[in-house]
Chain A
Amino acid sequence: MITFTERWKKGKVKGSWSITYEVVRGSLSSYGSEGDEPSYYK
């Protein structure tokens, strides 16, 4: 299980976003993600 988490904060605005993968040799399946993409991605 590999999880990538991103947390951000600017003044009172804060949030987090993460995505988890279940990785087995040779195969990858998304285990789910949660949170919102940060605005600075756009």
Chain B
Amino acid sequence: MAAESLIKRKLTATFVTTMIPSMILAYLYMADSVKSEYPHGLGGSFLGWLSMYSMYIGIIVLIYGNLVSVGLEYLQKKWFVKHIWLYVLLHGFFGLANGWLFQEFTLALPGMIVALFYALIDRWLFVRAKVQKSFKMFFLVPFVICGLLWGYFQIMSEPYTMVDAIEDAAANGTVPDVFPKSVGKWEGQIDGYRVERETTAKKQEEKNI
């Protein structure tokens, strides 16, 4: 059925067009954090920014993008069925409208890029559908890239260990330098006193800001 395959194609294009740019934006946003002094819990932050970006982009593409695209496809079939380039270009033109929609000129260019990307994916899917090839890859690839980026950011965030914490406390606090540098006890004699110096550590609930 034509309508069914159209909906399937547009929704798949919507998914890809939402995920890929969102991942790029989230990556760019996170790239600075990797260089920071205390990269911490970056995998989670990446997913957080990804979901925030994809929510915005997703809603715009889903409602505005698909409305425009279905309209353009109708016009293309009627008047310029051979001119795929015009179909793609018109998507880009309507993508520019994002700048006007949000009264923010800087959003016009990204809007256009996402729209052109959408049109290209849409045409690619169109060709694949004709030769009965499945769309599975279009869902799999964004998820795999997303997983890899999450893993990358997880690896880049160093865990904060007990030893790090003790070092920090000993280095920056007002504690004499004589205490054990790891959890443990020191015993000895000083001026006839039996002295016992103990370092203990207790892990608290992690506070994520």
Contacts and interface: CB of A to CB of B under 8 A. Distances in A.
Given A2-B165, A4-B179, 9 more contacts: A3-B201, A5-B198, A5-B200, A10-B191, A10-B193, A19-B173, A19-B175, A21-B173, A22-B204
A28 B168 contact: yes
Interface of A: 1-10, 13, 19, 21-26, 28, 30, 38, 40-41
A40 B193 CA distance: 8
A5 B168 CA distance: 17
Contacts of B172: 28
B38 A25 contact: yes
Interface string B187-200: 00011111111111
B38 to A, nearest CB: 5
B169 A7 contact: no
Size class of B's contact patch?
20 to 34
B166 to A, nearest CB: 6
A4 B38 contact: no
A28 B169 contact: yes
Given A23-B165, A24-B207, A25-B160, A4 B175 contact: yes
A38 B200 contact: no
A8 B187 CA distance: 10
Contacts of A8: 190, 193-196
Nearest to A38: B193
Contact of B38 (A5, A21, A22, A26): A26
B202 A1 contact: yes
